[in-house]
Amino acid sequence: MSLFLGTGLVVKLVLLILLYFSVVSWAIIFYKFRQVHRANRESERFMDFFWKTKRFDAINAQLDRFANSPLTVLFNEGYGELTKLAAKREEKEEPGVFSTELGGIDNIARALRRATTSEITRLEKYLTFLATTGSTAPFIGLFGTVWGIMTAFKGIGETGSASLAVVAPGIAEALIATAIGLVAAIPAVMGYNHFQNKLRVLIAEMDSFSTEFLNIVHRTFAGK
């Protein structure tokens, strides 16, 4: 705190910006950790329930139990599209769910793709801030350091003394900006990489579930 109070106006502004980046980054890290952890846990539970139940109507009735899983969104979209196609088939008395003008399985595939894209966007929300913090905070801190050193050398020129007692306080005040920049950047980079890895697993699970859902629909309903 004494170092902060002893810095100039520009360095103080830099430190406040870095503090903002750090606080927001930690808030995002805690939020995303909770969100991704719940998504992984409930996705595992949903898949177990999905394969044990084997009835779409029964699964649809229990979706609230897995509200934080992205797979439930995919199932809800796919099942909703399947229900619409089945209703259209009954109205027109057509031989199959996947008939000509309705688009059939293509409609369901598009619904699953839309849901996947929507869930990926939701899960990736705020991660760009972590990436921005990780890439810019060290440079913002470096700017504060450079400015502080310039100020320190200006002071040396004005006093006409370059002794350690004169130089050290100014250099120490300048280097605190780089230190705070690294304090803000390192957790942000680690958090970003961690969540990107977790999201790749979730995206792979969503792609796999979409494929399985379409296969089940095609085997069960095609030709009915």
DSSP per position, 54-97 = --HHHHHHTGGGGTT-HHHHHHHHHHHHHHHHHHHHHHHT-S-T
In the predicted model, what is the mean pLDDT of residues 178-198?
94
Q: How far is CA 174 from CA 7, 39, 69, 75, 135, in A?
A: 8, 43, 47, 56, 20
State whether residue 123 is helix, strand or coil: helix
Instruction: Give residue 164's pLDDT.
Output: 63
Of residues 192 and 149, which shows the higher confidence score? 192
Instruction: Give residue 144's pLDDT.
Output: 86
Instruction: Give residue 102's pLDDT.
Output: 45
Q: What percent of the chain has pLDDT over 90?
A: 47
| Cβ-proximal residues to 3 (8 Å cutoff; 6+ apart), any chain | 172, 173, 176
pLDDT, tens only, 69-109: 999 999 999 988 888 877 776 666 555 554 444 457 788 88
Instruction: Give residue 163's pLDDT.
Output: 64
Instruction: Give residue 100's pLDDT.
Output: 42
pTM of this structure:
0.81
φ and ψ at 54, to 5 degrees?
A: 65, 10
Rg (CA), the chain: 28
State whether residue 126 is helix, strand or coil: coil
Instruction: Give residue 82's pLDDT.
Output: 86
Q: What band does 219 get if pLDDT is binned at 50, 70 and 90?
A: confident
pLDDT, tens only, 149-163: 887 777 777 766 666
φ and ψ at 63, to 5 degrees?
A: -65, -30
Q: Where are the domains of the chain?
A: 2-221
Instruction: Give residue 146's pLDDT.
Output: 87
pLDDT, tens only, 13-45: 888 999 999 999 999 999 999 999 999 999 999
